[in-house]
Amino acid sequence: MQISSDAASLRAQVAEWRRNGERIGFVPTMGNLHGGHLRLVDEARSRSDRVVVSIFVNPTQFGPGEDYANYPRTDAADRQALQAHATDCLFAPDVETLYPDGPALRTYVAVPELNDILCGASRPGHFTGVATVVTKLLNLVQPDLAVFGLKDYQQLLVIRRLVRDLLLPVEIVGGGIAREPDGLAMSSRNAYLGDAERRRAPTLYHTLQGLAARLEAGETDYPALCAEGRRQLSAAGLQPDYLEIRRAEDLGVASPDDHNLVIPAAAYLGRARLIDNIRVHRPGGEPS
């Protein structure tokens, strides 16, 4: 596995692969890799001749008081895991490589209709930081495809929108949500959970499962369903941030006439902020 920390060596390697006619897959991460990340690497491998993985804890997507300084960093273990999953190149830049004039955003990428809702409402500026760094990384790697996890559903839609609007020649693939045996979505921030919190954490997924079953059965009182879901989370000791029923294609507010839905949710539990979602196809429409 080649390890690059600068743009020149990364581009030289990618150019060599391109001269050989090889297809390049890319998985951007912030490190502290778990099974969910490695499933994305495997997905890229199944679709590509060469796989590049980046590890970069991006300062511009963290707000004041968030965990940028303390975000888990496990470089040695990450490298071993990537080697075991047949990664061809690890791109591990420092902040100066991606932000030569510092992380204050002079030029940035924003997706207005998705920036300020759901997670964006709770984390102002977060998705501008995400969209900007992903655009930088796609420009550096210039892959044929890039794989992003479906757990971060809003992020996935932000990236698909910016790729379409900026005419970037890359296919964006959504990789399935990896879960622990009790249903908790895998996340680097799960490490923040204490033992008692970890036992309560799967309530988020189980609540979404219950709401999805009721939608599939034909219930359409979305405000009542969301309110009940938030009460269930609160009763289990989680602090709901949001729980909504939205259109799957664009996260617009859903109506009873919409059939392809998503239930995104976020909740605080101790030091951790958990996010999850479930896609739902209601009877009467074509699956998206």
Cite the active site residues: 37
Strand 239-243 with 145-149, pairing: unpaired
Backbone φ and ψ for 54, nearest 5 degrees, come out as -105, 145
Neighbours of 284 (CB within 10 A): 9
Answer yes or no: are the C-beta atoms of 68 and 57 closer than 8 Å: yes
Element at 76 (helix H, strand E): helix 75-84
- 280 forms bridges with which residues in the sheet? 261
DSSP class of residue 178?
A: P
> What are the structure tokens assigned to 262, written together?
């998503």
Alpha helices per DSSP H over 90-183? 95-98, 112-115, 119-122, 126-141, 153-165
Whole-angstrom Cα distance, residue 153 to residue 136?
20
Answer yes or no: are the C-beta atoms of 90 and 159 closer than 8 Å: no
Whole-angstrom Cα distance, residue 204 to residue 200?
8
SS3 assignment, position 73: coil
What is the phi-psi region of residue 142: left when phi exceeds 0, alpha when psi lies from -120 to 50, beta otherwise? left
